[in-house]
Amino acid sequence: MNNRSRVAGQDTTNSTAPGTAASFVRFVVFGGGTGLASSAALVALNGTLPLVVTNAVVTAAGTVLATELHSRFSFRAGRANLKAHVQAGGSALMAYLFTTAAMLGLHAVQAAPSIMVEQATYLTASGVAGLARFVFLRLAVFAPPRAGSTVTTRTRVLGRDALVAAA
């Protein structure tokens, strides 16, 4: 483990969690950057596979990449473990369902909305979903350990891995 401690499978070498505003700015930058990269990948792969397959692959890869970036940089929780990837993927799915519901709701209320109304609806729903996703990731997925909680760490002692429980 190279003398690095691990808590619940996440690298915790940098125990200083960034403030909410700093985390949010990083969340927007890394999430937006990953979204732009995913969009470029979708265009680059256009025609190589059916669009539905390409979109699924690019979305899955983008979600994994964004989760890793958010874990390491937005929330400074170290490397994301499988549980964090599953939870973040679930939150991305919920965001997708929310934006889809918003668009379907718009079209149920208004048969032929203008492009401006559609974009306003989609961007508002995306913003709300993104904010909810940020809160969920910060408070549930990448939350720093609570004070007074028992933390199990794995550390290298005399050339061997050892589990150490600390309060």
Say if pTM beats, i.e. exceeds, 0.75.
no
**Per-residue confidence (pLDDT) for residue 115, from 0 to 100:** 92
Residue with the bigger pLDDT between 41 and 158: it is 41
Beta-bridge partner residues of 163: 154
Q: How far apart are CA 95 and CA 88, in angstroms?
A: 10
A 10 A CB-CB count for 5 gives 19
Instruction: Indicate whether 1 pLDDT > 60.
Output: no
- 20-51, pLDDT tens digit by residue? 999 999 999 999 999 999 989 988 998 899 98
Amino acid found at 112: A
pLDDT at position 153? 53
Residue 67: how many other CB atoms lie within 10 Å: 25
> In the structure, what pLDDT confidence band is assigned to residue 149 with cuts at 50, 70 and 90?
low
Tens of pLDDT, residues 60-103: 999 999 999 999 999 999 999 999 999 999 999 999 999 999 99
7 DSSP assignment: E
Asked if residue 161 has pLDDT above 60, the reply is no
| pLDDT reported for residue 4 | 39
Contacts of 97 (CB under 8 A, 6+ apart): none
Using one digit for the tens of pLDDT, what is the confidence trace for 93-146? 999 999 999 999 999 999 999 999 999 999 999 999 999 999 999 999 998 777
